Amino acid sequence: NAGVTQTPKFRVLKTGQSMTLLCAQDMNHEYMYWYRQDPGMGLRLIHYSVGEGTTAKGEVPDGYNVSRLKKQNFLLGLESAAPSQTSVYFCASSYGGRGSDTQYFGPGTRLTVL
Amino acid sequence: AQSVTQLGSHVSVSEGALVLLRCNYSSSVPPYLFWYVQYPNQGLQLLLKYTTGATLVKGINGFEAEFKKSETSFHLTKPSAHMSDAAEYFCAVSGSGSARQLTFGSGTQLTVLP
């Protein structure tokens, strides 16, 4: 049982390049999330999904797109990377959408945009 | 709207001393409260959470937190710090709505001195 995994662990991009981050979970969770973590700001929600084939915007969605084609996978895309998107990206999943449900986090992807 | 304030971005304690990390929240609905820990270069791991019932919540690694509604606080404590407790700690709040409303504080870096 691997929990939540993220690919890749590190990535360096040039401004304007595109990339996709992959998140996978093997806990059969319905809800999945993408966060970014910046120094002194905690975690901020980018996008989330309440089930296969659904996505919704979070607090800071601009410049990102997501897809949830399979229940176990949640992809985060950057179409044209900008230096402001330099951050650590975390994926999380939860069984349900109640406020009391625990979110389980992946190990993170450290992205640098030059 | 909901928010979390963690007082003290950096806290240092001696090994064996009391650990106290402060968290205050605001929420327009009865809150669910979480403490997560992040070890260097890792994802977030749940320490404990308050949902309903007993206001003193015990978590992993000897940590506990007390929900005080009158003070809108959820401070994290541990009677005796261990070197392995050095990490960053995040307080988070969600409302009675869906889990996508999880809001994080900015984090407290705990240093344990020998």
Q: Is the pLDDT of residue B97 over 70?
A: no
Average pLDDT over residues A37-53: 92
Q: Distances in Å between the alpha carbon of B7 and those of A59, A66, A114, B73, B75?
A: 23, 34, 33, 11, 10
State the pLDDT confidence band at B100, using cuts at 50, 70 and 90.
Answer: low
pLDDT digits (tens, 9 = 90+) for B67-83: 999 999 999 999 999 99
Is A101 within 8 Å of chain B by CB? yes
Q: Is the pLDDT of residue A97 over 80?
A: no
Average pLDDT over residues A64-84: 97
Q: Which residues pair with B99 in a beta bridge?
A: none
Which pLDDT does position B99 carry in this prediction?
47
* Residue A97 distance to chain B (closest CA, Å): 5
Is B107 within 8 Å of chain A by CB? yes
pLDDT digits (tens, 9 = 90+) for B5-52: 999 999 999 999 999 999 999 877 778 999 999 998 888 999 999 988
> Position of tokens 């791991």?
B45
